[in-house]
Structure 1
Amino acid sequence: MTRTFRFGVVATPQGDGDSWRATARRIAQLGYSTLLMPDGLQLLSPFPSLAVAASAADVRVATFVLASPLRTPMAAAWDAHSMTVLTDGRFELGIGTGIPAAKQSAERLGMPYGSTAERLAQVGETIDRVRELDKDGVRTPVLVAAGGPKSRALAAEKADIVTLAAGPLADIDDMAAMADDLRAKAGDRADVIELAMNIFVVGDEVPPWTKQFMGVDADELVAADALTMLRGTPQQMAAELRRRRDRIGTSYISVNAQFLEQFAPVVELLSGT
């Protein structure tokens, strides 16, 4: 099933509440559907931050993604359900096992970090607790960041949205193989799962923080035809995203806030198509 495109911006509060509300309003003005926020003690807490954003603009809000070891499953589910109710259904719970830096955050919070299997089990239990709280027509959509086969199996069983967590140099063949595996594991659920993709670089230059995070430069991304980069005119970018949707099935596309304005013409070309 081919889904229509929708677009999000991954952002974090950089100043006071006024600047954060202005960011949310600008995201909505430019036609993005969702404001997504990462998780970690180096940032403000995502739930109150996203509640403020949702009150400032008619935009969906999402965690991207919660690190499962930083909260008990019930605590995460409680906050997620509360957000869904108070935003009138405009919240999406994104959750995963966490990047390596989450270990230090868990330690500071007095939470056990656990093995990869234990952290993945926490993801599954969190989704189960969310579903227990769903009632009276209120349902929280859940996005799972899935990398390896076991996380794809869990996502295939429980997630509404899946972002395929591949390496920074993954190309279209790599991602298509992951998507095919996810759909095979999902069976009858395959058509209800929305596939998401986060683009780290829009244009030809890799920002310093992105280069540090990914460990690769622009030449390496271009040489690999990596899907973490999107280049060209707005029309060329739109054509490339259609190619990716045709081959992989990805229709929910997010970019970092640094590229908010630069990517807006692509959003205008593709939203709802």
Structure 2
Amino acid sequence: MTRPFRFGVVAPLMTDVPTWRDRARRIADHGYSTLLVPDFPLTQPAPAPMLATVAAVTDLRVGAWVYASPFRPAWLTAWEAHSLSLLTEGRFEMGIGTGRPGIEDELRDKRMPAVPPPHQRLADIRETVRSLRELDGPDHHTPVAMAVLGPKAQALAAEAADIVTFVLGEHPRAEVARLATDFRAKADVELALAVPVIGDTVAPHMARPDTDTAALHAADAMTVLPDDPAAAIDEIQRRRDEMGFSYFIFGADFADRFAPVVEALTGR
């Protein structure tokens, strides 16, 4: 099934709070679907109050992009997600993953337990989703977005997620196409594509600041889009036609420039 386009923005707090709120309002006015915040403890406020703030001043959907599961117990993440889903009247999406590169050092710095092995991290995500569904009950459904790559993570996402994004780097177009096609054969979910690099600019908290943008361009990586909105529109349509991606996520610094992309494609 071809899903309609929608667009999200990862909007970390990089300014004073009033300026950040004004940015959230502009994002809403441009027609974006969702404002997302990263899960970077101490470098950002906690996701829940940030998202509650945005939901109170706009009609945007809001989401975590994405909760790093090793930072908190499964039941706590589920409770927070369910609470946000209720308080936003169904506008919250719980994004969750097993943790980004370097998370071992982050946990050590925060005097937290060491990162569990991959199979335990996947088990923790499974338990988080199970607890969330229990809290939601039969009359509520909080959408779950999972960031995955390996076969075991994909299998869990096919079973438990509503939205799936792949953890990509310099993976070339053909490899991503196979990945997306194979996954769509397993599950009818919304495929999201996070694009941290626009032109040669790397979005804060979406990729490492030292990301080799030239290497991404050379590999025809799917983590890059051209910075010309007209060219981006053509490429986004191609990625849905060839791979099934319909939910595209950009960094906040490009939200204004890509407003014509959102206007042209949202809902189509």
- When normalised by structure 1's length, the TM-score is 0.91
Q: Which amino acid aligns with 1:101?
A: G
Question: 1:33 aligns to what?
Answer: 33
Q: Residue 267 and residue 45 in structure 1: after superposition, are their counterparts in 2 closer, same or farther (change >3 A)?
A: same
State percent identity of aligned pairs. Answer: 46
What is the CA deviation profile of residues 146-180 of structure 1, one whole-angstrom value per residue up to 9, with x for unaligned ones?
1111111110111000001122x222211111112
Please state if 1:76 is matched with 2:89. no
CA distance in 1, matches of 2:265, 2:8: 13
CA distance in 2, matches of 1:16, 1:215: 25
Contact 2:12 2:204 in 1 (8 A): no
Q: 2:159 aligns with which of 150, 157, 166?
A: 157
Aligned to 1:255, the other structure's residue is in SS state strand
Quickly say closer, same or farther: Cα 1:16–1:223, change in 2 above 3 A: closer
Secondary structure in 1 aligned to 2:24? helix
1:25 and 1:218 map into 2 onto residues whose CA distance is: 30
Per-residue displacement from partner, 1:174-200 (whole Å, max 9, x unpaired)?
A: 11111123233x3xxx22x00000111
What is the root-mean-square deviation of aligned Cα atoms in Å? 2.0
Quote the offset at 1:215 in angstroms: 5.0
Name the residue aligned to 2:99.
Answer: 98
- Answer whether contact 2:203 2:253 (CA < 8 A) is retained: no
Matches within 5 A, 1:258-269: 258-269=253-264
1:88 equivalent in structure 2: 89
Q: What TM-score, normalized by structure 2, do the two folds share?
A: 0.93
Q: 2:151 is aligned with what amino acid?
A: P
Shift of 1:136: 5.5
Give the number of equivalent residue pairs. 266
Aligned counterpart in structure 2 of residue 198 of structure 1, from 194, 197, 200: 194
- What CA distance in whole angstroms lies between the structure 2 residues aligned with 1:27 and 1:106? 33
Preserved contact between residue 66 and residue 95 of structure 2 (Cα < 8 Å): yes
CA distance in 2, matches of 1:144, 1:54: 22
* Conserved 8 A contact 1:146-1:165: yes
Query: Paired residue for 1:19?
Result: 19
Q: Which moved more, 1:208-217 or 1:98-107?
A: 208-217
The 10-residue stretch of structure 1 (208-217 or 63-72) with the greater mean CA deviation from structure 2: 208-217
